[in-house]
Structure 1
Amino acid sequence: MNNFSIISSLLDNDFYKFTMQNAVIKLFPFAKAKYEFINRGKHFFPKNFDKILKENLNKMAYLKLSKEERVFLEKNCPYLDSSYLDFLNKYRYNPKEVNIYQKGKNIKMNIEGLWSSTILWEVPLMAIISELYYKLTGIKPISDKKIIILTKNKIKKYKKLQVKIGEYGTRRRYSYQVHKLVLKILKKEGYPFFIGSSNVHFSHIFSIKPIGTQGHEWIMFHAAKYGFNIADRIAMENWLHIYNGNLGIALSDTFTSPIFFKNFNKKLSNIFKGVRHDSGNPISFIKETIKHYKKFKINPIKKKIIFSDNLNPYKVAYISSFCKKKIIPFFGIGSNFTNDIGYPSMNIVIKMVKALPEKKWISVIKLSNVKEKNTGKKNVIFLAKKILHI
C-alpha cells in the first residue's frame, strides 16, 4: 500500500485546472487562495486515513512535466502559450500548502497559498481520497469484465441517441485503473460520439483531446475582487482577454443562472460558443438559454449547452430529446463512467473558501441553482442574496 502512488503524472488532473492556472498567472500572479474539504456524504474514514493520505500527497512533490507531455500540450492546446508551459515545467506540488488532520472518523483538510500554485490540488486530492477510501474500507468493485460490458452498453445508448459525450470523472473515480479501463473502451468504441476526456494525463496516453474550460472558483474569485453583481461579466471578459474566443464555454451557475444571464450581454453571448449547465432543472435552463439568445437575435441552433450535472444514460436521453432542433447539447459524464461499480460514489468536494485578491482575505461563496450545492459561510451567502435580490 505504502509504495503505491495513486497520482503518477502531473497531468493526472482536469484540463480546466491548467487553463485557469494559465489565466491566474497572467492576470492575478500575487493572489492567494484557501480551499476546504467538504464531506457532503458524511462518509466515515478508517483509522490512520490521514497518515496514508499524507504519504500519497508527499509523493506528489516529485511529479514533473515530461518532455512528451509538454509536446502533447503544445500540439493539442495551442492556446496554452510557451510562457505558461515554461511555468508548468518548473511547477512542483508543495505538500506544505495542504493541512490534513483526522478526528475520529472525520477528516479535516484545508489548502492555502498562492492561487497559481494551490489551484492544481483539488482534483488529484479528491481522486486520492476516493481511491484510498475504497481500498481501506475494503469496498471491491464489480469485475473488469462487468465494467467493460456496462461501459459498452452505455456507449451503445449514446450512439443510438447520436449525442456527443465527454468523460469528466477524475475527481470521484473508483480508482486510477478503473478510470483507465473505461477510457480505453470509450476510445475504442465511442467514435464519432465520444469527443474527449477532461483528464489531461489520459488524453495524452490515449491520444484524445483534453476538454473543459473554467470552474466556479474563477468566478468566485472575481466576486471577491469586483463584487457579486459584475463577477460573471468580468470573469468572462478576462477569459476572452486570455483566450481570444478559444475555450469559449461560459459557466452559468456560480451565482445562479438568472444573475449569469444578466451579465451575459450581447457581445459575450455572440463571442462565447455556448454555456455550461451544472445545477438545477436542465429543461428550465434550456428554455432560459434559448430565450436569452433570441432576445439578442442570436440563432440558438448555432450555440451549445454542455451538461455536466450528475448524468446517466436516462438523463441524457431526456435532455437531448428536449434540445432537438433547438440548441446543440454536449454531455460531460463523470462518476457514471468512472465509478459505476455497484456502490454509490463518494459525495465529497474541495472548494475555494477565501481569496486574497490584494490586501485582505475575503470569504468566497457559490450560489448554485440548487441549495445543496451552495458553498461558503452562511452570513456571506445571506449578504450575497441581498445584494443580488435573490
Structure 2
Amino acid sequence: MKNIIESLLETDLYKFSMGQAIYHNFPDYTTTWSFKCRNTDVKFTPEMVEEIKRQIYAYCDLNFDEDELAYLAGIKWIKKSYVDFLRLWHPRYEDFTIGTDAPCGLSIETNGTWLNTSMYEIPTLAIVNEVYFRMAYDYDELFSSFEEKLDEKISMLTSGTYKIGAFSEFGLRRRLSAEAQELAVMKLKNAKLDGSIFVGTSNVYLAKLLNVTPVGTMAHEWIMCVGQGNHKHNPAYSNWYALDYWVKEYGILNGTALTDAITTDCFLRDFQLTYSTLFSGVRHDSGDPFEWGEKMIKHYESLGIDPKTKTLLFSDSLDFKRANDIFAHFNGKAKVAFGIGTYIANDTKVPPLNIVMKTTACNGQDVAKISDVEGKGMCKNPAYVDYLQRCIDWRMENEAI
C-alpha cells in the first residue's frame, strides 16, 4: 500500500490555528491523546495494525518543504515565527504507542508536548480509515459506490433540489481515502451549483493542490487544555480562558468560537459583549441545531448585536437534506455556513467508521468535555467528569448573570 499521508499540510486547518496559539502561549504543555473506535462490530486484524504502524512511521518521516511553508505564510493570520518553527518541526514516532489491546483490536495513544501531539490526531485517523477500508473490503467496489453516490448528491445541489448556501468539506479524518476526498473536492469545486456555494475544504494540502479556500478555526482540545490544563483554573471557566488567549493571539482574525466543550449554556456566560463582538461567529457541534441557532440569535440580540452580521456554522453529522432544512430556517436571520464531513468524504455502500482521537490528559491531569448531548465525551476518569459537571452546575446555579 502506498503512503497515505504524503505531506504535513495534509491535516485540518484548525490544527495550524491552534498550533500557532499553542506555540506562542503554551509551548511546555503536555498532552495525552487516546484513540477509540465506537463501532461495536468492527475488528482490526493484526495485519491492519502492522500496516497502520508502517503508515504512521512513514508519516513521521515527513518534513515541510519551502513551497508548503510559503503557502502557510500566505494565510493572513499565520505569523513568521510559527512558520519558522514549522520549518524545523516534524512528527516523532516515539510519541506513539500502538497495540492491539482494545475491543476493536487497535489501540493508539500519543504522549508528548501539546505542540506535537495535537498535530497527530487528523493524519492518524485518516491512516486508520484508509487502511481499514482498503484491507477489509474490495476497495475498488467501495470507490465505485462512493463515486456513484457523490454524483447523485452533487446533482441535488446543481438542480437546486437542495439549497444550502455556503458550505465546506470537512471529511479528512473519516474519509474513505485520499483519492476519494480529492475527487469530492474537485467535483464540488467544478460543479455549477444552484442556491449553494462551495467555499473550500479543511484539508490544507487539498486546498493548496486544488486552489480552494482552507477552512477552520478551533477544536474542543483548545478549550479543554487551556481551561483545564492549568490546575489552578476552575474548569467551569474553561471558555473564558480559551477565548481570552485566542483574542490575544488573533485579535479579530480567525474568529469562529466553538460553543459546546462544557455545554453551550455555560459558554454563553463567558461569550458576552466583547467576545460576541470580536468573534465573527460560532460553531455548532452537538445538540439540536435549530434550538442552538435560535439560542445564539437570542443571545446576540440580548447584547444589542445584529445576528445578521454573525455566522452560525453547523458541523454536526450533516447531510445535504439536513443542511437544506437548517439553511431554510435560518437564512435571513444570520449568516449560515456548513462544514460537512463523512457524508461527502466517505459515503459508500458500507457504513463508515465512527472513530475518534481525543485529548484525555493535559499536564498530567484529566481533561474532559461535556457537550450538549451525551456520548460525545471521552475521559478515562469518571470522577473527573463528575467533578467538572459539579463545577459547571454550581456556576450555572449560583453565579449572578
TM-score (norm 1): 0.94
1:20 and 1:214 in contact (8 A); partners too: yes
Q: 1:370 aligns with which of 362, 370, 373?
A: 373
Partner of residue 57, structure 2: 58
SS in 1 for 2:372: coil
- For 2:98, give the aligned amino acid: I
- For 2:113, give the aligned amino acid: L
**Compared CA separation, residues 276 and 95, structure 1 to 2 (3 A):** same
Measure how far apart 1:188 and its partner are. 1.0
- For 1:65, give the aligned amino acid: F
Q: Number of matched residues?
A: 383
2:60 and 2:93 in contact (8 A); partners too: yes
1:307 and 1:331 in contact (8 A); partners too: yes
In 2, Cα distance between equivalents of 1:57 and 1:134: 16
1:159 and 1:193 in contact (8 A); partners too: no
* Structure 2 segments unaligned to the other structure (5+ residues): 397-401
- Quote the sequence identity (%): 28
In 2, Cα distance between equivalents of 1:309 and 1:163: 16
Q: 2:182 aligns with which of 172, 180, 183?
A: 180
**Compared CA separation, residues 211 and 190, structure 1 to 2 (3 A):** farther
Measure how far apart 1:372 and its partner are. 1.1
Moved more, 379-388 or 27-36: 379-388
Moved more, 325-334 or 160-169: 160-169
* Structure 1 segments unaligned to the other structure (5+ residues): none
Equivalent residues in 2 for 1:104-253, closer than 5 Å: 105-140=104-139, 141-143=142-144, 145-156=147-158, 161=163, 163-189=165-191, 193-224=197-228, 225=230, 226-253=233-260
**Compared CA separation, residues 102 and 365, structure 1 to 2 (3 A):** same
Moved more, 22-31 or 368-377: 368-377
Query: What is the CA deviation profile of residues 306-365 of structure 1, one whole-angstrom value per residue up to 9, with x for unaligned ones?
Result: 000010011111111110221111000001110011221100100000001xxxx11000
- For 2:212, give the aligned amino acid: I
- For 2:35, give the aligned amino acid: F
Moved more, 19-28 or 151-160: 151-160
- For 1:152, give the aligned amino acid: I
2:35 and 2:107 in contact (8 A); partners too: yes
Measure how far apart 1:227 and its partner are. 2.4
In 2, Cα distance between equivalents of 1:7 and 1:150: 28
RMSD of aligned residue pairs (Cα, Å):
1.6
Partner of residue 45, structure 2: 46
- For 1:371, give the aligned amino acid: E
**Compared CA separation, residues 258 and 158, structure 1 to 2 (3 A):** farther
In 1, Cα distance between equivalents of 2:84 and 2:160: 39
**Compared CA separation, residues 162 and 136, structure 1 to 2 (3 A):** closer
SS in 1 for 2:214: coil
Partner of residue 262, structure 1: 269
Is the aligned partner of 1:319 residue 2:323? no
In 2, Cα distance between equivalents of 1:105 and 1:223: 32
2:37 and 2:104 in contact (8 A); partners too: no
**Compared CA separation, residues 89 and 159, structure 1 to 2 (3 A):** farther
Moved more, 186-195 or 214-223: 186-195
Equivalent residues in 2 for 1:80-91, closer than 5 Å: 80-91=78-89
2:164 and 2:320 in contact (8 A); partners too: no
**Compared CA separation, residues 55 and 289, structure 1 to 2 (3 A):** same
**Compared CA separation, residues 190 and 345, structure 1 to 2 (3 A):** farther
Query: What is the CA deviation profile of residues 168-210 of structure 1, one whole-angstrom value per residue up to 9, with x for unaligned ones?
Result: 0000000011011111101111667111110000001011111
Partner of residue 96, structure 2: 98
**Compared CA separation, residues 273 and 313, structure 1 to 2 (3 A):** same
In 2, Cα distance between equivalents of 1:236 and 1:315: 30
Partner of residue 287, structure 1: 294
**Compared CA separation, residues 368 and 110, structure 1 to 2 (3 A):** same
Measure how far apart 1:273 and its partner are. 0.7
Is the aligned partner of 1:71 residue 2:70? yes
SS in 1 for 2:106: strand
Moved more, 98-107 or 342-351: 98-107
Partner of residue 35, structure 2: 37
SS in 2 for 1:120: helix
Partner of residue 399, structure 2: none
Measure how far apart 1:38 and its partner are. 1.2
- For 1:111, give the aligned amino acid: T
**Compared CA separation, residues 157 and 101, structure 1 to 2 (3 A):** farther
Moved more, 272-281 or 339-348: 339-348
1:249 and 1:272 in contact (8 A); partners too: yes
